[in-house]
């Protein structure tokens, strides 16, 4: 840990990695663990490995791996030939993060965040979340025996509370605007010596690199042209981009895919800044989208996502709730039931097709962030049907359906 540096994403000021420091003292922008420039995959039977064992060279600061892993990662990359044809592109893949231990992508980052907390001596961890991250931190806190605090916005749907409470953290629903809850919790955790595993904390972002490594392996290192990521705080897309960048630096792949930051039209601060060529995101005052997981009015890593998109030649797409629901139904037609936030990535592909953006030879990955069962209220937006039938009429009914 002592040989690792974390660096300000804006002014390049260097900080040690064995302290808890999320943001730069000078410019208040997010910090990032320095890039790995030399490494290879520890090839073995992945069924017996954790992501940190397989990609150990890319996590040089975790020499010995504690018993924290819940076998996160190694999620399926599902190809849809039918949808690729409909979208007019060469290949369309879905990276299905709902197969993680708490059914969302968050587990990759919680693993590395919790490991960092333990390594630098913390006994208490916390998070602020609208759902997925809360469940993930609560689960990993329980597994590793750390006292765990979870602050949740009082506006989240009731069905999201108990899946957090089941892990028995100190769970608090807080009234107030989400970004203000985030900032106040950060201040209080510092005061009480609690490690905040924030959405864009440097060692959480590190965990998200593993998604990129897996995509490289799953595509036999023929990396995609575009990776679409639904965006909330910006930590997820930053981690994925860093993973590709590290593999390129190490000579494992030839190019880094263009990253596409997907936001909901009802709350799209990064998109708004991107299309006006602004350097800074501005707060959204009246957010409204059913994709609550990406309803982040002032993303902590928003400015850094804008900087990253510049060097990466990436871009932003915003999609309406109707487009998200339509994409959720399309995903279900391929056998995948994901939460609305996840469907935003496919909605963005549909939008790009509609705008005639594609030439036809593109390889595209949509990151599907979490399970559809996380937000069953979305059902009411679909025209779902079923039949009722008396037992003695079942024969007639099936006959009529042939
Ligand atoms: Zn700085």
Q: How far is the CA of 231 from the centre of ligand 1 (A)?
A: 23
Q: 7 C-alpha to center of ligand 1: Å?
A: 8
What is the C-alpha separation between 255 and 226, in angstroms, rounded?
Answer: 11
First-residue to last-residue Cα distance in the chain? 65
Residue 178 pLDDT more than 80? no
Give the structural domain span for 285: 77-101+202-381
Distance 172 CA to ligand 1 centre (A): 32
Question: Residue 85, class by beta-carbon neighbours within 10 Å (0-12 exposed, 13-18 middle, 19+ buried)?
Answer: exposed
What average pLDDT does the chain have? Answer: 95
pLDDT band at residue 155 using 50, 70 and 90 as cut-offs: confident
* Mean pLDDT, range 149-175, rounded to an integer: 89
Structural domain contains residue 299? yes
CATH code: domain of residue 207? 3.40.50.1100
Q: What spacing in Å lies between the alpha carbon of 26 and ligand 1's midpoint?
A: 5
pLDDT tens column, 220-230: 999 999 999 99
Is 300 or 89 the better-scoring residue by pLDDT? 89
CA–CA separation, 226 and 224 (whole Å) = 6
Predicted pLDDT of residue 160:
79
Query: What pLDDT score was predicted for residue 130?
Result: 66
Find tokens 């804006």 and name the residue.
10
Which pLDDT belongs to residue 311?
96
Give the Å distance between the CA of 116 and the centre of ligand 1: 22
Taking CA atoms, 213 is separated from 53, 106, 216, 320, 330, in Å, by 13, 16, 5, 31, 27
- The pLDDT value given to residue 65: 63
Asked if the structure places residue 317 within a domain, the reply is yes
Mean pLDDT calculated for residue range 145-149: 97
Total domains present in the chain: 1
The reply to whether 259 falls in a domain is: yes
* CA 25–ligand 1 middle distance (angstroms): 7
CA of 237 to the centre of ligand 1 (A): 20
Give the CA-trace dihedral at 303, 309, 310, 314, to 10 degrees: -160
**33 CA to middle of ligand 1, Å?**
13
Asked whether residue 5 is assigned to any structural domain, the reply reads: no
Ligand 1 center to residue 23 CA distance, Å? Answer: 8
Q: What is the pLDDT of residue 180?
A: 82
From the centroid of its chain, how far is CA 383? Answer: 28
Report how far ligand 1's centroid is from the alpha carbon of 304 (Å).
11
Residue 57 lies in a domain: no
**What are the backbone angles phi and psi of residue 149, rounded to the nearest 5°?**
-110, 135
- pLDDT for 171 beyond 90: yes
The Å distance, Cα 12 to ligand 1 centre, comes to: 6
What spacing in Å lies between the alpha carbon of 301 and ligand 1's midpoint?
Answer: 13
Q: Is residue 229 part of a domain?
A: yes
- Centre of ligand 1 from the C-alpha of residue 372, in Å: 38
How far apart are the CA of 31 and the centre of ligand 1, in A?
8
Report pLDDT for 64. 65
Residue 340: both structure tokens together: 């609305």
Alpha carbon of 138 to ligand 1 centroid (Å): 31
In a domain, 370, yes or no: yes
Residue 15 counted as domain residue: no
For residue 13, how far is its CA from the centre of ligand 1 (angstroms)? 5
Write the pLDDT tens digit of every residue in 14-33: 999 999 998 999 999 999 99
Give the Å distance between the CA of 9 and the centre of ligand 1: 7
Range scoring the smallest mean pLDDT among 39-43, 49-53, 154-158, 349-353: 154-158
């Amino acid at each position: 840990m002592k040989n690792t540096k974390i660096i300000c994403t804006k002014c390049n000021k260097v900080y040690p990695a064995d302290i808890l420091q999320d943001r730069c003292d000078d410019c208040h922008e997010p910090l990032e663990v320095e890039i790995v420039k030399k490494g290879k995959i520890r090839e073995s039977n992945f069924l017996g490995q954790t992501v940190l064992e397989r990609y150990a060279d890319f996590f040089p600061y975790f020499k010995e791996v504690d018993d924290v892993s819940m076998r996160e990662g190694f999620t399926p990359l599902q190809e849809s030939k039918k949808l690729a044809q409909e979208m007019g592109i060469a290949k369309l893949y879905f990276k299905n993060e709902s197969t993680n231990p708490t059914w969302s992508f968050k587990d990759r980052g919680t693993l590395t965040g919790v490991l960092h907390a333990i390594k630098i001596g913390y006994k208490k961890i916390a998070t602020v979340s609208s759902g997925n991250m809360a469940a993930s931190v609560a689960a990993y806190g329980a597994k590793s025996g750390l006292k765990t605090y979870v602050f949740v916005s009082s506006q989240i749907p009731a069905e999201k509370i108990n899946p957090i409470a089941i892990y028995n953290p100190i769970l608090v629903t807080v009234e107030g605007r989400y970004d203000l809850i985030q900032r106040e919790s950060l201040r209080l955790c510092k005061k009480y010596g609690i490690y905040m595993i924030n959405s864009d904390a440097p060692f959480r972002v590190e965990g998200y690199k593993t998604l990129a490594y897996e995509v490289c392996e799953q595509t036999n290192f023929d990396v995609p042209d575009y990776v679409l990521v639904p965006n909330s705080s910006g930590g997820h897309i930053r981690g994925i981009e860093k993973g590709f960048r590290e593999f390129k630096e190490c000579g494992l792949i030839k190019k880094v895919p263009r990253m596409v930051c997907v936001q909901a039209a009802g709350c799209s601060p990064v998109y708004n800044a991107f299309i006006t060529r602004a350097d800074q995101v501005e707060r959204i005052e009246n957010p409204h989208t059913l994709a609550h997981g990406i309803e982040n009015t002032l993303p902590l890593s928003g400015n850094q996502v804008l900087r990253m998109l510049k060097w990466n030649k990436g871009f932003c797409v915003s999609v309406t709730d109707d487009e998200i629901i339509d994409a959720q139904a399309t995903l279900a037609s391929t056998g995948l039931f994901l939460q609305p936030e996840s469907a935003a990535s496919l909605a963005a592909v549909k939008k790009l097709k509609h705008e005639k953006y594609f030439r036809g030879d593109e390889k595209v990955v949509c990151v599907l962030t979490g399970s559809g069962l996380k937000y069953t209220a979305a059902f009411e937006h679909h025209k779902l049907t079923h039949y009722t039938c008396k037992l003695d009429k079942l024969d007639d009914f099936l006959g009529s359906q042939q």
